[in-house]
Amino acid sequence: MPTLLWFRQDLRLQDNPALMAALARREAIIPVYVLDDAGDGGWPAGGASRWWLHHALAALDADLRARGSRLILARGESGAELDRLRRATGASAIFWNRRYEPSVIARDAALKARWTAEGVEAKSFNAALLHEPHTIANKQGKPFQVFTPFWRHCLELQVEAPARLASSAQIASPERWPASLELAELALLPRIKWDSGFRAAWTPGESGAAKRLKLFVADAMEAYSDRRNTPGVDGTSMLSPWLHFGELSPRQIWAAVQAVAKESGVFPPSNGARVFLSEVGWREFAHHLLFHFPHTPERPLRSDFESFPWADDAGGVKLRAWQRGLTGYPIVDAGMRQLWATGWMHNRVRMIAASFLVKHLRLSWVHGARWFWDTLVDADLASNTLGWQWTAGCGADAAPYFRVFAPVLQGLKFDSEGAYVRRWVPELAKLPAENIHAPWEAPASVLAAAGVRLGKGGNYPAPIVDHATARNEALAAFKRIRGGDISVRE
């Protein structure tokens, strides 16, 4: 009898444990994707993620058809839709790969228990992580809350080799396919065409992931540790959206890095490769924290931050300025505009922009997390939560409360020639490098020559807050809740 292969955030055929297990049954396989917004526990995919998902599903269906299969699409409550398909097809097994969001874990556990009680072979597998959260603990048997010892522990563990599906392998089809929605019926694409920049920047799908990984490890990985903080160059892997949707597995990344290191004769891997793998480690750490501290997408890990004195933003004026890239601080605005245009932002600039929201504007990190959730193609609940709580100083391994990124200094340090700002804030493109990160300090003649008019009625805003004043107010607010030492200890 057929097996239902339930796809979720594992939209690939290579290194897919659930698929390999289904193939081992030597029965027909019915691949299924169910769009279940309610089942995501208050965090349905945002607009940018839905764009990616549409194209990822199209690519997966094409890959399946090349192997004699296809993808069945449904919408609704996952359990109900899979039960309907099970009755319609006579399927005796349901296989899937695990997710780690709190609501999904609870839902999946209930489904597995019910299906098993009904005589269905219900099995789940790890396809998303090098090491699952429930398998990792510190010497006290508790969750890690500091990255360095967490990653040191992980590096001592064996990483399973990725499973390879032969290029000639076919997937057995049922005698009759069940009814399926058309992809357009899922309504994942935007009604207003704001996605032209997405189409230019990305190629969703397993083949796009493989090409990007191959290009990165061959051309950019060695210099990664030196170039990853420079937003004006192509120095990062940009693999995060493919990783989130499971078009690429961390095991595949691990294997690719090890293979390049061995081929080059530099083994263990070089510094650039080690730093890059540590970023994969941060993703693992994020899932570790979300699994063990499921309240953190909505509330701070450190309970004393529940009473943080956030600023009043009447009418959301400052929040909208930040969202639109109109803060008057060029490096912040460049990042927010890159995010809107491409669905992605360079990681160094993410930290700068996030710090600006929570420490310069003193607006809650929750506002930032929600905005990133809707606008990032790589929006991932675990990583998004970790990043924002790290910046705000209220999570595990958080940035020190007294660390307030100075936007001008950050711009001068990491975008010294202004290439990044010129690309994303074109109204400042003609300013000299020495003025581009602080245009309000430029002489009037320099501004005029560059066609820059600051402030109300101009073409670029004046700073919405003064850096020194905002920094002092942020430190005062942190000290109000700090009491004793708030640093996290392992």
Catalytic residues: 279, 282, 310, 347, 365, 388
Dihedral sign for Cα atoms in the order 168, 173, 177, 178: negative
Dihedral sign for Cα atoms in the order 12, 16, 21, 23: positive
DSSP letter at 158 equals P
Give residue 259's identity as a one-letter amino acid code. Answer: A
Dihedral sign for Cα atoms in the order 314, 326, 230, 207: positive
464, 318 Cβ separation under 8 angstroms: yes
**Distance (Å, rounded) from C-alpha 19 to C-alpha 7?**
9
Angle at 379 between CA 474 and CA 94, to 5 degrees: 140
Strand partners, 31: 5
7, 32 Cβ separation under 8 angstroms: yes
CA distances from 94 to 7, 65, 105, 220 (A): 11, 20, 16, 41
Q: With CA atoms as reference, report the closest residue to 340 among 358, 318, 321, 325.
A: 325
Which residue pairs, CB below 8 angstroms and at least 24 apart, start in 294-298? Answer: 294/102, 296/385, 296/389, 296/395, 297/43, 297/369, 297/381, 297/384, 297/385, 298/366
Cα dihedral 68, 73, 78, 81 in deg (nearest 10): -90
Dihedral sign for Cα atoms in the order 102, 105, 108, 113: negative
366, 42 Cβ separation under 8 angstroms: no
